[in-house]
Structure 1
Amino acid sequence: MTDEGDDRSPALTEYADLHGCSCKVGQDDLDSLLADVGLSGAQAELQFGVGEDASARSIGDDRSLVTTIDFFTPIVDDPYEFGRVAACNAASDAFASGAGDDLTFLVVLGLPREVTDAATEILGGIVDAVEDMGGVVAGGHTIMNPWPIAGGTVAATASPEHLLRMSDASPSEYLYLTKPLGTQAAMGALRVQDGEFGETIAETTPRPVGTVADEALAWMTTPNRAAMLAAREYATAATDVTGFGLLGQARVLAESAGVGVELTHLPVIEGTLELSQLFGYGLEDGESAETSGGLLLSVPERRTDAFEDSLSAAGVFHREVGRVTTGTGAALVDPTIERVRG
């Protein structure tokens, strides 16, 4: 925490024990909670809802309204960047569902009394990120809260034919990821690089921690809108990779669609694999929590060439990371690890 009279931005991450999407409730606990209140099945009023990344409801013959909410604790100390990451992460669930038109954002913001001065910068980051995504901030709600939280509710529209959901993945389709992994390890190392553990961290990674963290932040503040627009003509199913990690999110997709998933390739930000092994985050096993991660898209084999051309033309990072199978569950199958720089 900053000293009185210190002009530096407050160290927001010091006010929370869990950071970014690692603060999410575990998948098993969430499933039990939904079952306990009768929200584990299909909802007749919706095109899709609980169990997917967002809900979709028909609002006309050729239009669907997609809505979602997402907020979390800081993964970075800079208030402005925290706002940008939070906005990109919240909107990602709408993009994963194929919606991006008429994007409207309602801010959720909670701060401890000691850091209320950060509100302006956090909100500024949210507003700028939403505007970059072609959306508008329409209001929100702000509270006092022991842990800082930021995010919001998102509404967007799409043609029904463009909607994407996890449950539509089919065997023999190929799985693609649109951002490299490793945000948890990168930002975790950044938070402690100046402490007594700093020398060990510096010796662990082949690159400066600041460089690795800067690249992770650049990925987290890259909206998934361009990926969605380039992919939705070709993909049959999608989700975004966040707190459950790649393997955990693949399990959710597999269960939703009644299929199996084999993951064979892990693209990671260069330097994060070694940091993850130091911290025990499980990146090499696909288990490290991701914040504002990429889209995981299922694409029929006959469409993969056109799909890859579309993402390349849009300047969107993408890697084939596995296959959908006739089995059940999700597993890593002798995965290759690719170190991604820049």
Structure 2
Amino acid sequence: MGDNEDGPALTERVELHGCSCKVGQGELDDILTDAGLVADQPELLFGVGEDAAARQLRDDLALVQTVDFFTPIVDDPYDFGRVAACNAASDAFASGAVDDVSCLVVMALPRDLTDVAVDVLAGIVDALETMDGAVAGGHTTLNPWPIAGGAVTATAHPDDLLTTRAAAPGDRLYLTKPLGTQPAMGALRVKDGEFAATVRETAPRPVEAIAEDALAWMTTPNRTAAVAAREYASAATDVTGFGLAGQSSVLAENAGVGVALTHLPVIDGTPALSSLFGYGLASGESAETSGGLLLSVPSDHETDLQNALADAGVFHRNVGRVTDGTGVTLDDPTREEIRR
């Protein structure tokens, strides 16, 4: 993580951190219903209810748009920008759009923190460059809580697009990053007092090492995973504020299927911390920030997907399957602790 010893502690300026600052899944559903945004829109290939919106421009070209921003999950402004950029672009990648990536930056800062804007923006720019993307402009305002992210556009052939709707019973589910960013970074924020000692005694390895692993995953773009997977996946989403169980629930509802989660890959050391904080990692409910892609793949393409992800150097684990029925089940899943 970046050196921020002399800079402001960004996470101390907010009450909720990273994707945990977002409106809850149930409340969001109510808002969309009350606003009348529940039906398909004829102008779009897909939109509300998916990770991004897609509009067909030509027979061979679709434009994908999304917007995402959040509060700091790390203190270092440069790292905050990198995480924010990776998280914002992830929704486009989850939709299968990986080309012509551009971002209109959304940034807001308290008046006394405007001097960190350069570092936050530098992090966003550098992260976009690793995705063959570019910052195309943006908007910056004053705000009591610092936030960063952006409106991302990308293109794809319409046949390459993915939604959550086409998952079918018998599909296997793969995740491309381990879980546990919320407890990893939550532990790092506890620096002083008796509870800090409790956190460090609870962690099975140094809190700083756990957080370093989490940051490395959060700043890994999902573009490579999307390129490798989109030929074989039937459906996809990315795992962020709703957690694995929540995003699986979205996929299950949109596709009219059930989801059985059977395996939880987690960042080494985060289960004990999650239990201490009550974040719900063991049940897949812990909020993730800039998490991996959740990919649904027909069983006859499972080996193809595994090989494509492995050849691209992308972490991946089978975390469950799509079933007949409805909803999400987690029946004593196996747990695997991952070190970066």
Q: TM-score, normalised by structure 2?
A: 0.98
Matches of 2:73 and 2:194, distance apart in 1: 20
Question: Deviation of residue 7 (structure 1)?
Answer: 7.1
Identity of aligned residues (%): 68
Q: Which residue of 1 aligns with 2:145?
A: 147
- Which residues of structure 2 form unaligned runs of 5+? none
User: Is the CA contact 1:193–1:209 (under 8 Å) kept in the aligned structure 2?
Assistant: no
Equivalences for residues 173-192 of structure 1 within 5 A:
173-192=171-190
Question: Deviation of residue 194 (structure 1)?
Answer: 3.5
Question: Deviation of residue 193 (structure 1)?
Answer: 3.3
Matches of 2:96 and 2:193, distance apart in 1: 43
Residue by residue over 1:271-303, the C-alpha shift from the partner in whole angstroms, topping out at 9 and shown as x without a partner, is: 000000000000001000000000000000000
Question: Deviation of residue 195 (structure 1)?
Answer: 3.7
Equivalences for residues 209-288 of structure 1 within 5 A:
209-288=207-286
3-state SS of paired residue (2:165): helix
3-state SS of paired residue (2:194): coil
Question: Deviation of residue 197 (structure 1)?
Answer: 1.4
Matches of 1:163 and 1:150, distance apart in 2: 27
Q: Which residue of 2 aligns with 1:45?
A: 43
Give the letter for the 1:156 counterpart: A
Matches of 2:207 and 2:7, distance apart in 1: 20
Matches of 1:258 and 1:311, distance apart in 2: 27
Q: Which residue of 2 aligns with 1:13?
A: 11
Matches of 1:196 and 1:119, distance apart in 2: 34
Give the letter for the 1:254 counterpart: A
User: Is the CA contact 1:193–1:202 (under 8 Å) kept in the aligned structure 2?
Assistant: no
Tell me, yes or no, if structure 1 residue 93 matches structure 2 residue 118.
no
Tell me, yes or no, if structure 1 residue 108 matches structure 2 residue 106.
yes
Indicate which of 116, 124, 139 corresponds to 1:118: 116
Matches of 2:294 and 2:228, distance apart in 1: 13
Q: Which residue of 2 aligns with 1:3?
A: none
Q: Which residue of 2 aligns with 1:69?
A: 67
Matches of 1:74 and 1:114, distance apart in 2: 16
Count of matched residue positions in the alignment of Structure 1 and Structure 2: 337
3-state SS of paired residue (1:196): helix
Matches of 1:299 and 1:207, distance apart in 2: 35
Give the letter for the 1:27 counterpart: Q
Give the letter for the 2:234 counterpart: T
User: Is the CA contact 1:193–1:201 (under 8 Å) kept in the aligned structure 2?
Assistant: no
Q: Which runs of 4+ in 1 moved over 4 A?
A: none
User: Is the CA contact 1:106–1:152 (under 8 Å) kept in the aligned structure 2?
Assistant: yes
Give the letter for the 1:132 counterpart: T
3-state SS of paired residue (1:167): coil
Matches of 1:48 and 1:185, distance apart in 2: 34
User: Is the CA contact 1:63–1:157 (under 8 Å) kept in the aligned structure 2?
Assistant: yes
Indicate which of 168, 171, 174 corresponds to 1:170: 168
**CA RMSD of superposed structures (Å):** 0.9
Q: TM-score, normalised by structure 1?
A: 0.97
